[in-house]
């Protein structure tokens, strides 16, 4: 069958064998596209049958699907009219790697950040109910995303609601690496239990109480050959919260899935369908090593000539911890992504994977600091956004020495709007007592880490980019800033990896490279004040960034010169990171243009 023709309506005309054939084709398309363009492979391969079953039971877009994190929505995209342009996945102006309602009415809600699906689905379901719309909302959430606190806030409200809300809990025992925590154990316990009840019986009971719809559906149920396992434990956690529990269901068995989802749809009340799947299903290497195949780089991605910032951080923190037994390493389910695996291996008792729980991670770190330890929370910039209040209330007011190592700070490329690291600077600079470092190369990163861990107190962040350094700075020892003064008329101010481009303009302007980017000292303002023309380049949000802070400080000093600020404005569309730098005028050519130097 031609995937170009596929649609939710067409799936409903296929018998189960043809649907199984469709699953194979979807897997092939996902595999080939991801190997070329990069993207999330293992999670998407693991949820193909679920997606086909959802489309055969529900009517998207009238019924709404909310995919948590959103990295399991490729099959859904192909089925809902995007097969023809699927080869543009994650490319500039192409199909997003995540659900995006601006892209398709079938994407009911944005995806990218974890653990939001239950709250979003409940909101959608309530809105539909208020509008007398009888359709269902289905939230799909993995056991990894289920470790995030917002999932429980959603469950707490959803279970006792009267909405047509179905939560599909997709348990594969994996977050990006092995899932951690008590909940993972609890789910495994439920799954291994054999206390199944007949769905048919429980459904008939329910249907007896809903006479109008009940009769016809009960008729349909008479013909159901297979028993569905459902409505299991009266004392089950989910049942106690008010959900009807259906499961555990083999999430690669289309018949079982279809029946379970049909039952959930009929119930017209909050249901939790617990399925178990294999992450990476259908591709042996990914099945055997799902963590490695969670995210794949595009085939044509530039290769690092030196170590990545992440690796440099990972090795440095492990090294520093040999002589400092107070250092504790924390990750929110990103052991490998943040480079903490070296530390985890050497100091398992001081290593904490807290699940996808950035807010908890920060408060936990503050607790460790209050107990005399030196917590280092390694986190991606975009996910740190989850922890704003915890940074203010739990860390900053009482000056807890918590070190944040903020990876993926700046432009990150193909993941699009949700993952760009452009808000950590505005967020952190708004917090009293916070110190922020932004090294431009690997060596500076090691110096900043030492400084933040050994010499500072209070909340400290070291932010660094995704991928590799763009040059080698000739720094020997730590200093808060570097001033390359060639007595030029104008001054370039910048920080982070794009310093590499600024340093190429030393014949055109003096360069002030900030390493400790915040707080901004009077010494720095004095240097800047001596220039009539100042050009600031910032790989971060313009709104609330360092450039704006410098400008307002200069204004207080009565500065009358010209300030030109180039930074990220608005959200960042998906593209390669070099293209993104170009789009915002943050590459060499952009700097030249800003200075009015003709580029060659």
Ligand X SMILES: Cc1ncc(C[n+]2csc(CCOP(=O)(O)OP(=O)(O)O)c2C)c(N)n1
Annotated active-site positions, please? Answer: 279, 358, 386
Closest CA to 185 of 141, 241, 147: 147
Give the CA radius of gyration of the chain.
Answer: 26
What is the closest distance, in whole angstroms, from the C-beta atom of residue 144 to ligand X in the complex?
2
What is the closest distance, in whole angstroms, from the C-beta atom of residue 147 to ligand X in the complex?
8
At 146 the three-state DSSP class reads: helix
Closest CA to 410 of 290, 539, 498, 538: 539
CA 97/CA 83 separation, integer angstroms: 13
Strands 39-40 and 295-296, sheet pairing: antiparallel
What is the closest distance, in whole angstroms, from the C-beta atom of residue 458 to ligand X in the complex?
25
What is the closest distance, in whole angstroms, from the C-beta atom of residue 329 to ligand X in the complex?
16
Residue 302 CB: number of other CB atoms within 10 A?
12
For ligand X, the closer CB: 43 or 420: 43
Q: Which residues bind ligand X (CB under 6 A)?
A: 43, 46, 69, 71-72, 113-114, 142-145, 170, 172, 174-176, 279, 332-334, 356, 358, 383, 386
CA 381/CA 379 separation, integer angstroms: 6
Measure Cα distances from 543 to 8, 211, 427, 461, 539 in Å: 42, 57, 10, 19, 12
For ligand X, the closer CB: 110 or 575: 110
Residue 18 CB: number of other CB atoms within 10 A?
12
Q: Hey, CA dihedral for 340, 344, 350, 356, is it positive or negative? A: positive
Element (H, E) at 274: strand 271-276
With beta carbons less than 8 A apart as the criterion, state whether 145 and 356 touch: yes
Closest CA to 407 of 339, 482, 474, 457: 339
Closest CA to 284 of 514, 535, 31: 31
For ligand X, the closer CB: 81 or 149: 149
Residue 25 CB: number of other CB atoms within 10 A?
16
For ligand X, the closer CB: 139 or 509: 139
What is the closest distance, in whole angstroms, from the C-beta atom of residue 493 to ligand X in the complex?
32
For ligand X, the closer CB: 46 or 547: 46
What is the closest distance, in whole angstroms, from the C-beta atom of residue 484 to ligand X in the complex?
38
For ligand X, the closer CB: 295 or 314: 295
What is the closest distance, in whole angstroms, from the C-beta atom of residue 146 to ligand X in the complex?
7
With beta carbons less than 8 A apart as the criterion, state whether 587 and 494 touch: no
Element (H, E) at 351: strand 351-353
For ligand X, the closer CB: 337 or 496: 337
What is the closest distance, in whole angstroms, from the C-beta atom of residue 327 to ligand X in the complex?
23
For ligand X, the closer CB: 172 or 236: 172
CA 174/CA 294 separation, integer angstroms: 10
Beta-strand runs (E) in 427-583: 434-437, 459-463, 481-484, 490-495, 510-514, 516-518, 533-541, 562-568
């Amino acid at each position: 069958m031609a995937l170009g023709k596929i649609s939710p309506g067409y799936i409903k005309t296929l018998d189960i064998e043809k649907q199984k054939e469709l699953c194979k084709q979807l897997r092939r398309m996902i595999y080939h596209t991801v190997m070329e363009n990069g993207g999330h492979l293992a999670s998407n391969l693991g949820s193909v049958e679920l997606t086909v079953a959802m489309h055969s039971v529900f009517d998207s877009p009238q019924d709404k699907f909310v995919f948590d994190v959103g990295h399991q929505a490729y099959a859904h995209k192909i089925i809902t009219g995007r097969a023809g342009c699927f080869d543009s996945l994650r490319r500039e102006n192409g199909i997003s790697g995540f659900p995006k309602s601006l892209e398709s009415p079938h994407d009911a809600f944005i995806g990218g950040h974890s653990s939001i699906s239950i709250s979003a689905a409940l909101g959608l379901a309530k809105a539909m109910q208020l509008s007398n719309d009888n359709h269902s909302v289905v939230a799909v959430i993995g056991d990894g995303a289920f470790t995030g606190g917002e999932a429980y806030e959603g469950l707490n409200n959803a279970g006792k609601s009267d909405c047509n809300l179905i939560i599909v809990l997709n348990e594969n025992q994996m977050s990006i690496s092995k899932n951690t925590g008590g909940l993972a154990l609890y789910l495994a316990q439920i799954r291994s239990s054999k206390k199944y009840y007949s769905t048919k019986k429980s459904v008939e009971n329910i249907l007896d109480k809903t006479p109008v719809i009940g009769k016809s559906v009960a008729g349909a149920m008479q013909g159901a050959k297979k028993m569905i396992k459902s409505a299991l434990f009266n004392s089950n956690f989910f049942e106690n919260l008010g959900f009807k529990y259906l499961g555990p269901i083999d999430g690669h068995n289309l018949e079982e899935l279809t029946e379970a989802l049909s039952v959930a749809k009929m119930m017209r009340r909050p249901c939790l369908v617990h399925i178990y799947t294999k992450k990476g299903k259908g591709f042996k290497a990914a099945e055997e090593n799902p963590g490695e195949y969670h995210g794949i780089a595009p085939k044509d991605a530039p290769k690092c000539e030196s170590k990545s910032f992440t690796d440099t951080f990972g090795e440095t923190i492990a090294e520093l911890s040999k002589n400092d037994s107070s250092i504790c390493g924390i990750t929110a389910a990103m052991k490998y992504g943040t480079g903490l695996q070296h530390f985890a291996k050497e100091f398992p008792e001081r290593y904490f994977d807290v699940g996808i729980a950035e807010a908890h991670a920060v408060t936990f770190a503050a607790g460790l600091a209050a107990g005399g330890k030196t917590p280092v929370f390694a986190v991606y910039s975009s996910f740190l956004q989850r922890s704003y209040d915890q940074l203010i209330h739990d860390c900053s007011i009482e000056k807890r020495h918590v070190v944040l190592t903020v990876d993926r700070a700046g432009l990150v490329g193909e993941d699009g709007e949700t993952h760009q690291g452009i808000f950590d600077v505005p967020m952190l600079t708004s917090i009293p007592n916070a110190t922020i470092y932004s090294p431009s190369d690997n060596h500076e990163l090691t110096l900043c880490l030492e400084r933040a861990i050994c010499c500072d107190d209070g909340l400290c962040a070291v932010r660094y980019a995704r991928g590799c350094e763009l040059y080698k700075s000739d720094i020997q020892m730590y200093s808060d800033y570097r001033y390359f003064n060639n007595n030029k008329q104008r001054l370039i101010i910048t920080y982070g990896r794009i310093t590499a481009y600024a340093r190429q303009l030393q014949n055109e302007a003096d360069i002030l490279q900030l390493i400790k980017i915040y707080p901004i000292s009077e010494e720095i303002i004095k240097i800047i004040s001596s220039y009539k023309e100042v050009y600031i380049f910032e790989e971060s949000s313009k709104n609330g960034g360092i450039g704006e802070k410098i400008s307002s400080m200069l204004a207080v000093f009565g500065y009358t010169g010209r300030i030109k600020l180039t930074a990220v404005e608005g959200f960042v569309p998906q593209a390669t990171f070099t293209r993104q730098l170009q789009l915002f005028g943050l590459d060499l050519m952009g700097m030249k243009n800003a200075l009015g130097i003709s580029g060659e």
